Amino acid sequence: MSLSDMQVLVVEDHGFQRRMALRMLGEIGVGTIHDAPGGVAALDMLQRMPEPPDVVLVDLDMPGMDGVEFIGHVAQGRLARAIALVSAMDPALLAAVQSMARAYGLAVLGSIEKPLTVEKLRSLLTSWEQRLHSADEDDLVEVSLEEIRTALLQDELVAWFQPQVEFLNGKVIAVEALARWRQPGGRLVRAGHFVPLLEREGHSHKLTDSMLEQACRWKRQWDDQGMRLHLSVNVSPATLADPAVADHYQQMVCDHGVSPEEVMLEITEGSLVTDAARGLGVLARLRLKGFGLSIDDFGTGYSSLAQLSQIPFTELKIDQDFVSGASADPRKRAVIEASLDLARKLQLEVVAEGVETTEDWQMLAELGCGVAQGYLIAAPVPGEDLPDAVARWRRPDR
């Protein structure tokens, strides 16, 4: 999708500012532009649209229905693909509203401080255009338990890969394996639509095994092409309850000619609190066997520091909610700086997820972050397309 194909709705009660936004959007080439003078009118417009707009630019401080209430209605009704805040209000308030929108499942581009400029709008929408271009069209997928069980049995769940690169030299050093469901009709469904269901029904360990095995098979092919990369694979919380899983994973990777030292197992921060004693034992054994351990989505749970002090992690992944747009958000930057300082003291490698703009790349490089992952580098791709994705990558100029 290009900017000329994009559909944007501006929700702004101040007439002059609304007209300026419309003029600027036209200047940067947005194809379809709508506007509304407030939340009530905007909701009415959205409900009558044949399809949701790509982006809603919304002011927070509006009479009648304020922007916070409006965003709640938009999210619950799935009335837009993404929102962006346009406001001069307190950054803490903006961050809270963005977190609220994401908790509702709504894509959030970030916030633009008033006054609007052409440059701010172009940067915001260009990054979203790139994300849309690479995204899977599965926003409205509904998945049944029987369907996903069948998909698991028939090997329809496939691993796609997103590169991770060093800030220092721009070299691609690893890939993260991400689950995709390739349906018989050719449609591709992202993990968020089926992994929670698998976890609830006790089948997620099978998905972890499948992703690890597929990743190892692809790694051998890439090795043969002269492209030696480490692997990063998400581990289901359910596997941490199985004392035999360390031996199982070791056997699995070795059967494919891969060393455990070449595999990073990503553990979501909130997944370790249910049975700490057993989980800690499993993780300790995985480290003994050489696997790397990464604390994923760092900062989004409630026990980050406790986890870091108890578990032999080797890597910290800063969640994309903190990374995306951090170059223009002092609060996000502060979180990143604190995370990097903590990681240095604990001698952990750091991966920043969600790197989507050159500005965020440059900020992270200046702060001394080690590794980047995100759409600026490449979207997730099938294993056969990874060499081309790596070849296309160019580190941003300093």
Task: List, by residue number, the catalytic residues.
Answer: 353
Answer whether the bond into residue 382 is a cis peptide, omega within 30°: no
Residue 359 is encoded by which pair of tokens?
């500005």
CB atoms within 10 A of CB 142: 6
- Please give the Cα distance from 229 to 262 (Å, whole number): 8
199: helix, coil or strand?
helix
The residue with tokens 């553990």 is: 267
- Please give the Cα distance from 89 to 95 (Å, whole number): 10
- Please give the Cα distance from 102 to 124 (Å, whole number): 17
Q: Choose among 81, 85, 125: nearest CA to 107.
A: 81
Helices (H), 297-385: 304-310, 320-323, 330-345, 358-367
**Residue 62 half-sphere exposure toward CB, CA atoms < 13 A:** 29
Determine contact, residues 363/333, Cβ cutoff 8 Å.
Answer: yes
- Please give the Cα distance from 146 to 158 (Å, whole number): 18
Distances from the Cα of 354 to the Cαs of 192, 243, 329, 361, 371, in angstroms? 16, 33, 15, 10, 11
The residue with tokens 């591709």 is: 188
Q: Choose among 104, 91, 57: nearest CA to 325.
A: 91
* Alpha-carbon dihedral sign for residues 131, 377, 212, 315: negative
